[in-house]
Chains A and B, each alone.
Chain A
Amino acid sequence: MVILIAEDDELILKTVEHKLKKEGYEVLIARNGKEAIDLIKVTDIDLVISDIMMPFASGTEILSAIKAFGKDIPVIMLSGLGQEEVVLDAFNLGAADFMVKPFSPTELILRIKRLMAQK
């Protein structure tokens, strides 16, 4: 199972990457929105974890790109406090779930497992 993490914060990126690898997932990483969109276009990805605010393309733009590519990939959004409006936009664009920072990596894994089970 391939999971893409799109996140510009190095610590969050590393931590989620290691946590997912430890759980046995194959992990791809993107440090900005554009890199993420390029990867989604050419790779078979089962799930995306994306920060909402990122350089070059935001989390909502990633959601739009997934739609435009005609792919059905669940996306978990990571948002900061006070980004409720953007989160609502993300849900309207088809985000599967979201977590507010500060977040628990263990809880993130549980949510991934739940989403994968639904899939």
Chain B
Amino acid sequence: MGTVHLSILIHDLVLIFLTVLVLILIMMGAVLFYGFYQYKSLKNKRDWESVIDSRVSNAIVFSEEKEVQESEFFHSHSQEGSFRNLLLEKLVSSKKKFSGVAQDEIQRLFVNYELNKEAVQNLNSTKPYIIAGGIQEVTAMKMTDSLPQVEKYLKHPAAQVYNEAQYAMVVFKGFSGLAFLNTLDTVLSDWQQLRLLGSLQMIPNDTDLSVELWLKSSNLSVVIFTLKLIQKFQMLALYDQVKGLLYHASEKVRLNAVLTLQVLENDRTKDDFMEAYPLQPVKVQLAILRAMKYSNDKRYYDFFMTQLNNQPIVALKIEAAQALLALGFSESLKETAHSKAVSEQIREIVKHVLQQKI
């Protein structure tokens, strides 16, 4: 009986061993198959990219000559969905690399291969990253027909979608594309602000009303963006509105207001800064001192000397000393550095600032 039991046990163990072995082999096979599939996809993508690059490159280089024939490989794949999507992606990125006639040629390829269908399809997707890609595509390829749909995406819940939609509106419509700021309740990131500002090349003359409205927005990022807009286009007429923001509840807005006043500088700026200065937190006071320093106005001498001698906060004393140096009062600073009438702390600060110059 014992021998029979033992042989059954061994038989079971062998079966278990074989089952595990088969499972391991199946798993290894699956991993190998998946790896091979991945490799093939990557290789295909690389091959396709190379063929597409050649097609785009030929179109650009031989644009003035007769129609460039596409390769057989390109022709045979040009109706495949994934190839067409890659072609569209490459054309969009190519537009960021070339300008002038080359860009027109890229646009011509887009039209000739009727890639607008793919772009619209992407725009209608349910996945945010595909919609965002679709918006980039219709924007780069100037598909104005899609503008109403892009506009709807300004209210999309996904940041990547509404960010692209905002950018697209400005690219398509210029300054009037910024109308979404009137009701914007999400934060405009620093990066998005840069993109929007970068895409605006000019503004019409009658923009003050919209800009004033944005300066009063309860969305701080809209106020800050508007201040940067005023800086970029030197909108001098809005000086008083910007000055008012020196007393805004947000420190970040006040800091940007200082920078903007520095750009819009006029005869009143000196008095406006000096009036606002005592009421500001230290960060804003430092920004004001820097703005005064860069104004290159020697009339600030007394003010800076007062800050250096009487200001209790060291950072402000240092900034005032640096400003005096920048305005050309190095002799006066040298005297202060050796004067027994001022404190040891002030003498050290001045010596430090003078040494920095060297």
- The interface of chain A, by Cβ under 8 A from chain B, is 9-12, 14-15, 18-19, 22, 81, 101-107
Q: Which of B96, B99, B101 has the most CB of A within 10 A?
A: B99
B171 nearest CB across to chain A (Å):
14
| List of B residues within 8 angstroms of A102 by Cβ | 95-99, 103
How far apart sit A106 and B62, CA to CA, in the bound complex (Å)? 11
| List of A residues within 8 angstroms of B49 by Cβ | 10
Q: Which of A10, A15, A107 has the most CB of B within 10 A?
A: A15
> Given A10-B49, A11-B53, A106 and B100 touching (CB < 8 A)?
yes
Residue B186 interfacial (CB < 8 Å) = no
Residue B204 interfacial (CB < 8 Å) = no
- The interface of chain B, by Cβ under 8 A from chain A, is 49-50, 53-54, 56-58, 60-62, 90, 94-103, 198
| List of A residues within 8 angstroms of B95 by Cβ | 102
| List of A residues within 8 angstroms of B62 by Cβ | 22
B310 nearest CB across to chain A (Å):
38
Chain A, residue nearest B54 (CB)? A14
Pick the 10 closest A-B CB pairs, nearest first.
A104-B100, A102-B99, A14-B57, A18-B61, A15-B57, A11-B53, A104-B99, A19-B61, A102-B98, A15-B60
A83 nearest CB across to chain B (Å):
14
| List of A residues within 8 angstroms of B101 by Cβ | 104, 106
Beyond contacts A102-B97, A107-B100: 20 other A-B pairs, Cβ-Cβ < 8 A, are A10-B49, A10-B53, A11-B53, A11-B56, A11-B97, A14-B54, A14-B57, A15-B57, A15-B60, A15-B61, A102-B96, A102-B98, A103-B97, A103-B98, A103-B99, A104-B100, A105-B60, A105-B61, A105-B98, A106-B102
| List of A residues within 8 angstroms of B53 by Cβ | 10-11, 14
How far apart sit A113 and B90, CA to CA, in the bound complex (Å)? 30
Q: Which of A19, A103, A105 has the most CB of B within 10 A?
A: A105
| List of A residues within 8 angstroms of B58 by Cβ | 18
A4 nearest CB across to chain B (Å):
18
Q: Which of B94, B95, B96, B98 has the most CB of A within 10 A?
A: B98
Q: List 5 A-B contacts (CB under 8 A).
A: A10-B49, A11-B90, A14-B54, A18-B58, A105-B102
By the criterion CB–CB under 8 Å, are B61 and A12 in contact?
A: no
| List of B residues within 8 angstroms of A81 by Cβ | 198
By the criterion CB–CB under 8 Å, are B96 and A101 in contact?
A: yes
| List of B residues within 8 angstroms of A105 by Cβ | 60-61, 98, 102
Chain A, residue nearest B100 (CB)? A104
| List of B residues within 8 angstroms of A18 by Cβ | 57-58, 61
By the criterion CB–CB under 8 Å, are B100 and A101 in contact?
A: no
Q: Which of B50, B53, B95 has the most CB of A within 10 A?
A: B53
